[in-house]
Amino acid sequence: MRVMSGHDGDDIYFYEQGDLVRLKRDEDGPLVTAYAGDWGRVMRVNPDGSLDIKLAGYSRAKDADMVRAVAVARSRVEPCDLQGRPLLRGRAAVWDTRRSTM
């Protein structure tokens, strides 16, 4: 994963195959297959920047019916660790506020 700083100081993530990511919001549409809090490994980065994410064996059982989420927008995910906890650099995970320097 590559990280760049945006104009307003927010981090911009460029995900690569093998990165661990967590969904921040449910998928849109009439058939929702991935929910906020689901996490897994990026299997493919599509040409439009969307991600194919393997959920089975991570946030879901290895023999789950829905093993992957396909074409998830990059804006709907955030990086996470091996337990599915968010990896937010410079911000607290709760309420997305700045960390205290004291």
Domain spans of the chain, in order of start: 17-79
**Model confidence pLDDT, tens digit, residues 15-64:** 999 999 999 998 887 888 889 999 999 999 999 999 999 999 999 988 88
Instruction: Specify the pTM.
Output: 0.79
E-assigned strands of 7-93?
Answer: 11-14, 20-23, 39-45, 51-54, 68-72, 77-79
How far apart (Å, rounded) are the C-alpha atoms in residues 37 and 77? Answer: 9
Q: Check if the beta carbon of residue 13 is closer than 8 Å to that of residue 75.
A: no
Tokens of 2: 């590559």
**Model confidence pLDDT, tens digit, residues 58-82:** 999 888 888 899 999 998 999 999 9
How far apart (Å, rounded) are the C-alpha atoms in residues 48 and 40? Answer: 20
